[in-house]
Structure 1
């Protein structure tokens, strides 16, 4: 794996000249957004005054209407300006960091894990209305075939006023890699806290026994403090989830403190790490000429690539070679 000290040299020697140009664009966008915000604010105030003076709107109703209208307009303008910047940022920062870490990998900023792969894993909710993602990375890491991307899976609901709303079922990292042991069944590891949750996973997790096999108990107290295991073959689950592997999952969770889902299906390990945000999107308010900003994305990608080493996926058994 690449070293942080080497990244600093790479940042100043290779990335910095291009980032200076992108930084100028970022500052111009911020100026445009601030100007737009000021104009929209004045427009909203004018609309509110007009509504209270010429219509039957109360002050509260007028402020609510003009505020909602102004907010929607500002969100549109912000999204319009930030979209182009995000694309250039990924070309100048994310792609170059990935190349620095491992130049053999393929990166597509508009790509994501195939929906068929997501469905085959059966790791996360299968009933959804919108499936999208970004930042697909594919290739070999320490001799292991891997692919991962940012994913956002949503369902459409109606509120008490029959208004349609989008609700997130999963947002975060979805990682797929060849597993180092041969197996035929399906074994799933879910965060134990999620099974008792009343959130979006609550109802889905209540049906795990029907869709993911039976509850399997393992002899690892610390592991069972954080996770629950389901599968269709208890003997095989004990084989693929060795004591060492379970300890690695515990260590990984305690380090990152993110809801972690793992599925061992079809000779592969599927891993989902919940973030509830877009992982590789830039922050418009932060300068690209500050190394600490770039360092954050490097450490995130290092964590993802490090999954192969953390779970020792490169240590194949003879039966898998």
Structure 2
């Protein structure tokens, strides 16, 4: 098996890309694409500004009518909203086309650089059944959505000159949002919906290269974390999840481990693997605060409307990149709760290296996962 970049500490092949490699590739191949898309964004911004100017006088007239003819408030607001939608119709269409181009041109090129064995489907995502199979949360979602499915493998299963077969790790990941929707009657007897977000972030499904049955979950300690963990392995009645006490005290201070088989849990969570799991889960990742301030002027409101999807890329301070792991029937499920939308950008967000850097870091996590947890080790091969 051909060996690529080496991990200086563990002397293993590394699949993730370094910042220096990204910088070089961006300047050589990605920057021309980004600059062309940025020109289109600037043209769309100019159109938006021209349309916004046309809205100023009608807005002032509407404000005057609301002040002097309060009974017509609803009709005036509705008329202004309809006129605004008409004015910005072309802007919204251009913004939609630009988002598609970002994914088809810029993001696809970035993914091919990170791993040519990845395929990218912008409108697909990891199936709901995989989320349920991870068995991390007590409630199953009855509303489930996502996008940006990336699927493929690292490594290879070629036979080298010494007759040793290499290992290939299959993995898939996407952005998802899992919600629980409950119906209830309000005080007036009307049916309302109560929506609770179970999870929002990235889900990774990885071939663990270690044959085992049953379920083992590794989740953060629940201090200040409002999650409800299942007590039984879903779909298999009678197989109770029991807590496991392991030797690594630092690991046990960070995580709660539950399993259907104490022996299998220790088979998976070796001392070395626990250490790498801990290092990956506690690695500092930058979290940018989400702007939740309400617009106070018409200008601010227009900016918010144009930038839908931009601020959503920035997670709230409460998300903090919480990591969950589960191991079931030879696969590892890794869920990284970020509370944000990935691979999206608003019209006010420049298409430059800073934006592509965010995309790079999100996708590179999958390769770091394989590197740091050493899922491609030959000694763990299923064959």
TM-score (norm 2): 0.69
Q: What CA distance in whole angstroms lies between the structure 2 residues aligned with 1:79 and 1:222?
A: 51
238, 242, 265: which one aligns with 1:237? 265
- Secondary structure at 1:181's aligned position in 2? coil
- Secondary structure at 2:199's aligned position in 1? strand
196, 200, 214: which one aligns with 1:185? 214
1:20 aligns with 2:35: yes
Shift of 1:180: 2.8
1:152 aligns with 2:215: no
Instruction: String of CA shifts for 1:203-245, please: whole Å, max 9, x gaps.
Output: x33xx22456122222222112221111111221122112222
Matches within 5 A, 1:134-149: 134-142=147-155, 143-149=168-174
Mapped contact 1:111–1:135 kept (Cα < 8 A): yes
Match of 1:99 in 2: 112
Match of 2:134 in 1: 121
Shift of 1:93: 1.8
Match of 1:228 in 2: 256
Between 124-133 and 262-271, the greater mean CA deviation after superposition: 124-133
Shift of 1:266: 1.2
Shift of 1:170: 1.2
326, 339, 349: which one aligns with 1:276? 339
Mapped contact 1:40–1:70 kept (Cα < 8 A): no
Match of 1:295 in 2: 357
Instruction: String of CA shifts for 1:245-293, please: whole Å, max 9, x gaps.
Output: 22222211221352111110111001000111112113433322x3333
Q: What CA distance in whole angstroms lies between the structure 2 residues aligned with 1:47 and 1:158?
A: 38
| CA 1:81–1:318: 2 relative to 1, 3 Å | closer
| CA 1:297–1:319: 2 relative to 1, 3 Å | closer
Consecutive unaligned residues of structure 2, counting only runs of 5 or more, are: 1-14, 156-167, 234-239, 286-319
- Secondary structure at 1:279's aligned position in 2? coil
Q: How many residues align?
A: 305
Q: What CA distance in whole angstroms lies between the structure 2 residues aligned with 1:298 and 1:98?
A: 8
1:176 aligns with 2:213: no
Shift of 1:47: 3.7
Matches within 5 A, 1:75-86: 81-86=94-99
Match of 1:262 in 2: 325
| CA 1:45–1:99: 2 relative to 1, 3 Å | same
| CA 1:250–1:70: 2 relative to 1, 3 Å | farther
1:10 aligns with 2:25: yes
1:209 aligns with 2:231: yes
Q: Indicate the structure (1 or 2) with the bigger Cα radius of gyration.
A: 2
Between 87-96 and 265-274, the greater mean CA deviation after superposition: 87-96
Match of 1:304 in 2: 366
Shift of 1:181: 2.0
Consecutive unaligned residues of structure 1, counting only runs of 5 or more, are: none
Shift of 1:318: 5.8
Shift of 1:148: 0.7
Between 273-282 and 42-51, the greater mean CA deviation after superposition: 42-51
Q: What CA distance in whole angstroms lies between the structure 2 residues aligned with 1:186 and 1:28?
A: 53
Match of 1:133 in 2: 146
Mapped contact 1:153–1:170 kept (Cα < 8 A): yes
Mapped contact 1:125–1:169 kept (Cα < 8 A): no
TM-score (norm 1): 0.81
Mapped contact 2:132–2:140 kept (Cα < 8 A): no
